[in-house]
Amino acid sequence: MVEIKEVKSKKDLKKFAKYPVELYKGCPYYVPSIRSDELNTFNPKKNFNLKGNECKGFLCYKDGKLVGRIAGLINRKDNELTGKKYIRFSRLDCVDDKEVFNALINAVEKFGKDYGMDTIHGPWGFNDTDREGMLTYGFDKRSTYGTNYYYPYFCERMREMGFDDESKWVEKCFAVPNEPYERILSICERLKKRLNVFEAFDRYSVKQVVKKYGDEFFKTMNDAYGHLDGYVPIEGGAQKNVLKQFATIINPRYSSILIDGEGKVAAFGIVLPSIADALIKSRGKLFPTGFIGVLKSIKHPKELEMALIGVKSEYKNTGINSILIARIMNNVIEDKIERVESNVMLEHNYDIQNQWKFAESEIIKRRQTFVKQITV
């Protein structure tokens, strides 16, 4: 017998947050989310993405045993911008059982239908900084901190339930050059003067940059990413979630934020130290000792994950992106970083992919979202 239970109590929430670790136990490719982040998913005091949106979590039991979880969320801003009535599903993790899959998806469909939604799609998060997309290729590759792992049966079950393909992404691994970009750096210094921009991390600490330029960062990000599939402008309190994450994980040697003469963010490139191995070891828990491995990975990384890169509209085709990339890659070479991997890049977003075309790379993973009309 299959039973669906909405997440309401602290006990339910702990089960919701912990379940993926149990499902993927022994899988070397799975990287857990930070446990505290999962516990705060439905807490409006911690997760500012909840403001103005609807979100529920569900647990699935079969014969009394926990066998799956899912979250449903209605992003009102996205629906307002697109004129659609969509509900997103997120955090879908379960055993390979058709009955369980159907029960979980039906729970989100019913939730959406109760609020007048007519279509379900996912996996999507609250916004573009959340984990999104289901793995369809590269099942023998370890996930990054910013992406979810899925067993091969997940996408098979989605198609069996009548879902159609939606947005598609690729993830790449980049070869690290052997020689510093001295000539390029010299050119970039001249370009900085011509464009009248300076590197924020050359003058300020991470916390100072966040405080001084946080608002401008999001204006540029929303400008650069606004046309992409499923993108929702990051505004108001939701910005605090992202800034907290960046202030915690970022290492300024591998990121760049360029400020123009008016004190606005002209362009940015955020490449994060990989904390994947540390999270695997601690099973996603930072305390009592998990934070030690995370801090070590941040300060002395061996691997990096490309997170975000964006250029304000007025600076496109000026070559400003080369200033970002040259700074980051020169430090990558100098620090003897062993591996650089991208997070998700939309297949048709050639602007982003071309930013890194100078570096040898290969596609190692693919993922996508699925969509279908609500039928319950």
Q: How far apart are CA 345 and CA 141, in angstroms?
A: 17
- Bridge partners of 271, per DSSP, are 306
Strands 303-311 and 339-342: parallel
Mean pLDDT, residues 27-52 taken together: 91
The 3-state DSSP class for residue 366 equals strand
pLDDT (tens digit, 9 = 90+) per residue, 312-354? 999 988 989 889 988 998 899 999 999 999 989 889 877 776 7
Structural domains in the chain, sorted by start: 2-168+369-373 (3.40.630.30), 182-359 (3.40.630.30)
Mean pLDDT, residues 271-299 taken together: 92
Are 70 and 89 spatial neighbours (Cβ–Cβ below 8 Å)? yes
Residues 6+ apart with CB under 8 A from 182: none
Mean pLDDT, residues 80-95 taken together: 96
Mean pLDDT, residues 255-269 taken together: 96
Q: Where are the beta strands (DSSP E) in 113-182?
A: 119-122, 134-137, 164-174
Q: Does residue 356 surpass a pLDDT of 70?
A: no
* Tokens of residue 142, six digits: 């370890």
Strand (E) or helix (H) holding 343: none
- Bridge partners of 8, per DSSP, are none
pLDDT (tens digit, 9 = 90+) per residue, 183-233? 677 888 899 999 999 999 999 999 899 999 999 999 999 998 888 888 888
DSSP 289-336: THHHHHHHHHHS-SEEEEEEEEE-GGGTTTTHHHHHHHHHHHHHHHTT
Share of the chain above pLDDT 70, in %: 97
Residue of 304, 307, 323 lying closest to 315 (CA atoms): 323
More confidently predicted of 134 and 207:
134
**pLDDT-based confidence at 76, cuts 50/70/90?**
very high
- Bridge partners of 72, per DSSP, are 56, 89
The 3-state DSSP class for residue 28 equals coil
Q: What length is written for the chain?
A: 376
Residues 6+ apart with CB under 8 A from 292: none
Query: Model pTM?
Result: 0.92
Residue of 19, 25, 84 lying closest to 280 (CA atoms): 25
Residues 6+ apart with CB under 8 A from 192: 198, 199, 258, 323
Crossing angle between the packed helical segments 153-160 and 98-114, to the nearest 10 degrees: 60
Q: Which pLDDT belongs to residue 49? A: 85
